Each structure stands twice: as C-alpha cells, then as structure tokens.
C-alpha cells in the first residue's frame, strides 16, 4: 500500500485542535494509519491520496483556528527517532535487546541476533534464554521496585556471555520495560591490557622468588596485601595475580582510594539506589563490588581509606554481603580482594587511623615489592624494554643510550622507582634530536628544576610543550647564545631557532639572566 506522510503546524496551542483537524480527514473518508500529536504539530500517516485531494484538505484546514501550514514529509517524527536509535544500537559491539514489562522482545540489534539463534521480536525472551534469575527479574506485577542483573555469566551456543539487565523508565518515571545486554567473554574483556606474570620483567633472584610466591597466592581466594614504595608495580602484580587465578575470565576492577573524595568513594564502592541523595542518578548506580561480581577488586592506596569506610569494608569482608546506599536489602558478594599501599599500616594502626581488625582481614597473604634501587641488575633490561616501547610511540627507531647516559641510569637511586624510570626515559626520547640519548637528556624527577610546570592530565602534548620550553630556556641561560646552546645540546642551529619561535621565547627571558 502506498503511503503519504503529512506534517501540520499550528501557531497556537488550544483545546480540540487535533479533533478539528481530524474532522476534515473524516469528512473525506481518509483513514489514519498512525498519528503523532505534540503541542504545535500533528504528524499523520495516511493511505496515498492525489495531489488535488491533498490541496483540497489543505484549504479546508486553513479554516481551522490556529492552523499555520501543512507539508508532505518523508519520515514521521517517531520513525526518524526509531531509525536513529536502531542505527546507533547496530553500531554497538554488544548484543542489545529491548523488552517490554512482561519480557517480550520489542527490538534486538544485529549483534544480539548473531549471539542468539532464531531470536525474534514479539516473543518472550525466556524462549531463547532459559535463566532462573532472568525469569525472577521480569515480573508482570512489578510497578515500583525493579531488579537489576549485573555481570551474570550465562552460556549461549557453548559460548560464555555476561548478561546485564536494567529497567527502563518514561520521562515521568513510569517503569516500561527492560534493556538487556550481552557481552561475549573474551580473554582481555575487562582490562586494557591482559597482564600475566610473564609480562613482569626482572632477573634479580629475590625478585623472581617474589613472583613465584605471588603465583602460589593466586590460586587461593584469600585476600592479598601488596606493599612497597610508590611506583614499584603493585597494580601490575594485582593484575597478574588475577590473570593467574581461577577468576581470570571474570572482571578485574580497580579503584584508587586516595584519588576520590571521601563523600563520593562510598557510592563508588557500594553503589546507591534511585533517589538516595541529591544529585544521584535517577536509576541508581552499582558499585565496584557488584561490577566485579565473580572477579577481583583491587583497592589501591588502601591506607588512605577513612575510618568510617574501613568499618564498612570490614563488614563486606566478614559477611560477603554489600548494602548500596539508600537500600534496606543486602546483596551477596563474590569477589576476591587485593589491596595495596605504600604506607606502613602497622604504624597507622598504632596511631589509631587504621583498624587492626581490617588489617588482619586484608593481610592474609602479603607481598612486599622491592624498590628499584635494590634491583640494580634489572635496570639495563628495564631500560631497553621501555625504550623499545617509546621508540614506537614517538616513531624514533633504534634509540640507544650513550655510555655516560647508561652510567647515570645505573648509579641513580630511583626514588620514584619504575614509574620514575618511565618518565625519565620518555623525556629523554622526546628531547633527543637523533637516535642517541646523551647525558644531558637524562633529567630526573627530583632534580629537574621544573616543579612549577602544571601537568595537563588529559593533554600530554601541552605538558611536553611546557617542559620543552622551560628546558630550552634553561640551556639558553647557561650557554648565553643560540649557536653555542645548539652546539652543546646536540641539535642544529636551525632547529633551535624554530623551537624558540614556536614557543615565543623572548630575548629578555634569557639574555639578561
């Protein structure tokens, strides 16, 4: 059947306006296939009519008080939104299925059709996914309290998937259905890089013994406490332990207890229900313990956790249950907890700022990571490893170290450990104009003289530019002329002039210093 779509606009909004317009169509015995009505516009889908009859209807509509104009359109408003929504959902790599309140499939994207054999709209989701929790979650008599499903592992066609389900609400807050998602479980699903113990570099005998101990601990489900100075690789160890454990196919979720304000940290850890506090998400939010269900939670900088949250965490460890903020119901929790700190927890206990009972719960297994200065034999190997990565990142092939640069790196005490080594080498790679890193390119964090440079966390290029400008100024002040500076730092006179122009370095910033 041929279709015509019409849009009718009004310059006012008054009662019975829609009725008056539809009366015109009824007079000509034109059925309405579908209709959308808003305050100042009506969209009509009707069987095809001739241009002459369309014009006749337009003339009669002009007599209706408030009528502005009428035009033919290609797509109805709801069709346009529907096309946009389906296009977006079909771009998503997860399976997405929209269900009504009874669990009937209203829409499924292409990925979901690939995941579930013979899935069809208009049928109950239970016809294709036979899962007890899914059936319990969808109840026809539910009006206000609607359950979630979070990261539940299910099998479809001998493949493992994570099932998530969220309630859908109208603008008025009325429950109207469910959004179900399916994500295929792959080896590297839950983290940016799947890290194993093979990725942890080091030939030092004591360090290799620590790695073997960590492997043994991985096979237990007990809590592990990682201690050591900042930058020694505690998170890398935590990820490797997770990868070695029986939970390796499940989520690894980390949180830095020092990086989030106390008033927000509780909701990040435990989640909250809808309307728990001012500014809360209308549909609530799950915490990391629910997010990591079946997997591992890594609590970094646990020594910074405030006393109130320590008590709540202790209860989680003791009872294996969590209670979201604003909820009266507890939820079972199945996660393995790995924590890390660079602080002396025993000292904090004596000072009264860390709970002894929590310490004993976290400290079932303990791994003390050595600082880099105690692994001097590993420094050349680590240096070569990071330079290989950096040479690819900055498209500078076959970067090498001069003998003087090697000596400095080996003799340095590395107070910032591996993290500082990465920073120092990255600076050196950026600063060198050829493939050889020289002594002058090695600038250590604690003596670089650039403490006042602000770090643009989301803009690496800006930070490097600020650093390079300050470095050029430092050398210009030292060597007094552009030509002499270029000669001493190993770059061409032209390159240095171009950098001075690029960073708008004025003569009075260095000539009179």
Q: Nearest-CA neighbor of 502 among 482, 478, 472?
A: 472
pLDDT over 90 for what percent of the chain? Answer: 29
Pairing of strands 296-300, 252-256: parallel
Average pLDDT in the 221-240 region? 92
pLDDT higher than 50, residue 451: no
Cα-based distances in Å from 8 to 22, 57, 108: 11, 11, 33
Q: Nearest-CA neighbor of 421 among 388, 391, 386, 446?
A: 386
Segment among 221-230, 359-368, 451-460, 483-492 with least mean pLDDT: 451-460
Average pLDDT in the 362-390 region? 90
pLDDT the model gives residue 192: 41
Q: Which long-range contacts (CB under 8 A, 24 or more apart) does 401-409 make?
A: 401/436, 401/437, 402/436, 402/437, 402/438, 402/439, 404/438, 404/439, 405/437, 405/438, 405/439, 405/441, 405/442, 406/380, 408/439, 408/442, 409/379, 409/383, 409/442
Average pLDDT in the 363-367 region? 95
Query: Per-residue confidence at 455, pLDDT binned at 50, 70, 90?
Result: very low
pLDDT the model gives residue 221: 92
* Better-scored residue on pLDDT, 368 or 172: 368
pLDDT the model gives residue 296: 93
pLDDT the model gives residue 7: 93
Query: Per-residue confidence at 450, pLDDT binned at 50, 70, 90?
Result: very low
Average pLDDT in the 317-321 region? 90
How far is Cα 398 from Cα 312, in angstroms, rounded to an integer? 52
| pLDDT tens profile 266-313 | 888 888 887 666 555 556 778 888 888 899 999 999 998 988 899 989
| pLDDT tens profile 57-90 | 999 999 999 999 999 988 887 777 777 777 777 7
> In whole numbers, what is the pLDDT of the chain averaged over residues?
83
Average pLDDT in the 342-358 region? 92
The beta strands (E) that lie in 119-222 are given as 149-156, 159-169, 175-184
| pLDDT tens profile 23-43 | 999 999 999 999 999 889 999
Q: Nearest-CA neighbor of 417 among 396, 463, 450, 386?
A: 386
Query: Per-residue confidence at 10, pLDDT binned at 50, 70, 90?
Result: very high
Query: Per-residue confidence at 21, pLDDT binned at 50, 70, 90?
Result: very high
Give DSSP secondary structure letters for 115-135: HSTT--TTSBGGGT---HHHH
pLDDT the model gives residue 446: 54
pLDDT higher than 70, residue 140: no
pLDDT over 70 for what percent of the chain? Answer: 90
- The answer to whether 244 and 407 are in contact (CB under 8 A) is no
Cα-based distances in Å from 76 to 39, 56, 340: 16, 22, 57
Segment among 103-112, 179-188, 371-380, 493-502 with least mean pLDDT: 179-188
Segment among 106-120, 154-168, 332-346, 368-382 with least mean pLDDT: 154-168
pLDDT the model gives residue 189: 34
The verdict on pTM exceeding 0.85 is no
Segment among 180-184, 387-391, 491-495 with least mean pLDDT: 491-495
- The answer to whether 237 and 224 are in contact (CB under 8 A) is no
Q: Is 270 left (phi over 0), alpha (psi -120 to 50) or beta?
A: alpha
pLDDT higher than 60, residue 460: no
């Amino acid at each position: 059947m041929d279709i015509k779509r019409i849009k009718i606009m009004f310059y006012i909004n008054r009662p019975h306006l829609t009725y008056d317009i539809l009366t015109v169509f009824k007079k000509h015995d034109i059925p309405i296939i579908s209709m959308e009505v808003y305050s100042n516009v009506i969209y009509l889908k009707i069987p095809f009519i001739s241009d002459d009859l369309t014009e006749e209807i337009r003339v009669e509509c002009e007599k209706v008080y408030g009528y502005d104009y009428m035009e033919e359109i290609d797509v109805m408003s709801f069709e346009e939104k529907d096309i946009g929504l389906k296009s977006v959902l079909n771009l998503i790599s997860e399976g997405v299925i929209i269900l009504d309140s009874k669990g009937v499939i209203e829409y499924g994207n292409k990925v979901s059709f690939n995941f579930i054999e013979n899935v069809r709209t208009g049928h109950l989701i239970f016809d294709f996914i036979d899962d007890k929790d899914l059936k319990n979650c969808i109840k026809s008599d539910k009006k206000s309290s609607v359950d979630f499903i979070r990261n539940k592992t299910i099998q479809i066609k001998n493949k493992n998937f994570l099932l998530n389900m969220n309630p859908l609400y109208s603008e008025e807050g009325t429950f109207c259905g469910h959004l179900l998602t399916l994500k295929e479980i792959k080896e590297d699903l839950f983290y940016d890089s799947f890290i194993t113990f093979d990725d942890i570099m080091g030939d030092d005998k004591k360090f290799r013994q620590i790695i073997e101990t960590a492997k043994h601990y991985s096979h237990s489900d007990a809590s592990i406490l990682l201690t050591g100075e900042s930058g020694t690789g505690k998170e890398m160890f935590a990820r490797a332990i997770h990868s070695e454990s029986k939970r390796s196919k499940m989520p690894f979720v980390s949180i830095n207890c020092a990086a989030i304000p106390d008033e927000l940290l509780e909701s990040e850890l435990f989640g909250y229900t809808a309307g728990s506090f001012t500014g809360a998400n209308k549909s609530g939010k799950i915490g990391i313990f629910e997010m990591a269900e079946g997997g591992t939670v890594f609590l970094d900088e646990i020594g910074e956790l405030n006393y109130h949250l320590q008590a709540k965490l202790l209860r989680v460890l003791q009872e294996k249950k969590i209670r979201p903020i604003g909820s009266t119901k507890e939820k079972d929790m199945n996660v393995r907890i790995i924590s890390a700190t660079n602080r002396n927890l025993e000292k904090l206990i004596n000072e009264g700022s860390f709970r002894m009972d929590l310490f004993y719960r976290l400290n079932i297994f303990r791994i003390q990571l050595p600082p880099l200065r105690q692994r001097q034999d590993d420094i050349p190997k680590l240096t070569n490893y990071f330079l290989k990565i950096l040479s690819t990142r900055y498209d500078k092939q076959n970067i090498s170290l001069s003998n003087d640069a090697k000596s400095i790196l080996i003799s340095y005490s590395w107070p910032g450990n591996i993290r500082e080594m990465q920073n120092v080498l990255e600076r050196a790679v950026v600063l060198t104009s050829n493939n050889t890193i020289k002594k002058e390119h090695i600038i250590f964090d604690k003596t670089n003289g650039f403490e006042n440079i602000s770090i643009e966390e989301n803009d690496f290029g800006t930070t490097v530019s600020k650093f390079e400008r300050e470095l050029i100024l430092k050398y210009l002040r030292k060597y007094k002329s552009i030509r002499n500076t270029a000669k001493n730092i190993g770059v061409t006179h032209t390159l240095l002039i171009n950098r001075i122009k690029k960073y708008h370095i004025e003569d009075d910033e260095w000539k009179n210093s």
